[in-house]
Amino acid sequence: MVGGGEGSFIGPIHYRAAMLDGFYQFVCGAFSSSYEKSLQSTDFYHVGKSRIYPTWEEMFRAEAELPVTERMEAVIIATPNHLHFPQAMMALDRGFHVICDKPATISLAQGLELEKKVQETGLVYALTHTYTGYPMVKEAAEIVKSGILGRIRRVIVEYPQGWLSSSLESTGNKQAAWRTNPEMSGPGGCLGDIGTHAANLAEYVTGLQISEMCADLTSFVPGRKLDDDMVVLCKMKGGAKGLFFASQVLTAEENELKIRVYGEKGGVEWCHAQPNSLLLKMDNQPAATLKAGANHNYLSEKTRWNCRTPGGHPEGYIEAFANIYKNAAYHMLSLKDGRFKMPDFIEYPTIQDGVSGMKFIERVLASAATDNKWIVY
């Protein structure tokens, strides 16, 4: 792992998710820009001090020179956004698979360059767009794909948070400081942090791509350099209309992500607060609540593959994160050993999702900056 040291929110999440299925073993790390702080993380990550490196560059170089049976095979990138691109590029150049926190890069140009590198190397690049790892989000996508909802008309994604309602970045809060700093976070604040989740979720569930958009960005907190509130109207290929709303200044809100998709014959609704449930609403029928569970045969094979417990036993954020790790591991194993068979329905967010996220950020910024009502996506 690079990053994820003391004070990190996302590093321990990556670690717990990676460990859940037993496919991974931590062997080395550069957990901080401070070597001393990296050493302080060895007990938590159970990595020997001899494999802790002062810098991530040194780690990639040294690990690549070790015998194949000893060197790391994949790297987790859990650093601030501006480091994702150079770290992923160097890792791929040295022959390492990459599992990266989102966004993939801080610009579309970087994203396209990284996409080319992934294609050239043939290595695995997994992006932790966590919410598509939930079983019932996958079931929502399968229901839309089946056609029972009819032609999709409307998709609505809302993602309200309240943790940045005040100038938290000026109080010494490490997470707030880098996420509101354009040099570290990139050009999008709320837009890049959670707005991209909204767009990714909409395109994943509907299978439709954005074609046009009209966006509004706001920085409500005085002195904040990046946006903390986003509203996007969009037109999607196939004729559907989208509404994406994300904010980090809705006081007292936690993480109330929700998606609703409506077609000619019915709709589906999923809420992060109740992730094991999916509401299916068909015309002239009572609404039905579908439940996650590995023993529920009414769920698709893909959904059951990503369920870890019997029906009625709750799963959550770590498990959804772990599904990305599990599915990426199957891909890595298939590349390592041709005899290893990977199920056809294995999927996880890739560099293409990363490029889509950067395109979304750049087009929203362009739309918000113009007086034109709509711009071509």
pLDDT (tens digit per residue) in 173-204: 999 999 999 999 999 999 999 999 999 999 99
Please check whether residue 212 lies inside any domain of the structure.
yes
Cα gap 97→102, rounded to integer Å: 16
pLDDT (tens digit per residue) in 38-59: 999 999 999 999 999 999 999 9
Please check whether residue 8 lies inside any domain of the structure.
no
Cα gap 291→279, rounded to integer Å: 9
Q: Which helix (H) or strand (E) holds 175?
A: helix 174-179
- For residue 372, count CB atoms less than 10 angstroms from its CB and return exposed for 0-12, middle for 13-18, buried for 19 or more: exposed
Mean pLDDT to the nearest integer, 308-328:
95
For the chain, the average pLDDT equals: 96
DSSP tag of 369? T
Which residue in 136, 122, 120 sits closest to 273, CA to CA? 136
Please check whether residue 109 lies inside any domain of the structure.
no
pLDDT (tens digit per residue) in 206-228: 999 999 999 999 999 999 999 99
Task: For residue 65, give every residue at least 6 positions away whose Cβ sits within 8 Å of its Cβ, in sequence order, or none.
Answer: 71
Strand partners, 266: 282
Encoded tokens for 38: 């990296």
**Which strand ranges, in their side-by-side order, compose the sheet holding 74-78?**
2-3, 74-78, 97-100, 125-127
Collapse the DSSP code of 88 into the 3-class scheme (helix H, G, I; strand E, B; otherwise coil) and give the result: helix
Mean pLDDT to the nearest integer, 110-118:
98
When pLDDT is cut at 50, 70 and 90, the band that residue 129 belongs to is very high
Torsion angle of the four alpha carbons 356, 374, 159, 154, in this order, in degrees rounded to the nearest 10: -90
Check: CB of residue 155 under 8 Å from CB of residue 122: no
Cα gap 128→357, rounded to integer Å: 12
What pLDDT is attached to residue 80?
A: 94
Cα gap 351→332, rounded to integer Å: 15
Question: Number of folded domains in the chain?
Answer: 1
| 135 upstream amide cis, omega within 30 of 0 | no
Please check whether residue 168 lies inside any domain of the structure.
yes
Q: Which helix (H) or strand (E) holds 64?
A: helix 56-64
Encoded tokens for 213: 């958009």
Encoded tokens for 162: 């309240």
CB atoms near residue 223 (< 10 Å): 9
Encoded tokens for 94: 């040295």
When pLDDT is cut at 50, 70 and 90, the band that residue 260 belongs to is very high
Cα gap 236→208, rounded to integer Å: 6
Axis crossing angle, helix 135-146 with helix 196-206, rounded to the nearest 10: 40
| Cα→Cα distances 166→176, 184, 192, 249, 254, Å | 10, 20, 19, 8, 14
What pLDDT is attached to residue 258?
A: 98
Task: For residue 317, give every residue at least 6 positions away whose Cβ sits within 8 Å of its Cβ, in sequence order, or none.
Answer: 13, 130
What pLDDT is attached to residue 338?
A: 86
Residue 162's domain is classified under what CATH number?
3.30.360.10
pTM exceeds 0.85: yes
Instruction: Tell me the residue range of the domain where 197 lies.
Output: 133-309
Encoded tokens for 305: 């593959």
Please check whether residue 150 lies inside any domain of the structure.
yes
When pLDDT is cut at 50, 70 and 90, the band that residue 341 belongs to is confident
Please check whether residue 245 lies inside any domain of the structure.
yes
Cα gap 175→234, rounded to integer Å: 30
Check: CB of residue 55 under 8 Å from CB of residue 80: no
Check: CB of residue 250 under 8 Å from CB of residue 234: no
Please check whether residue 76 lies inside any domain of the structure.
no
When pLDDT is cut at 50, 70 and 90, the band that residue 7 belongs to is confident
Please check whether residue 290 lies inside any domain of the structure.
yes
DSSP characters over 67-93: -TTTS-SEEEEES-GGGHHHHHHHHHH
Encoded tokens for 281: 């609403």
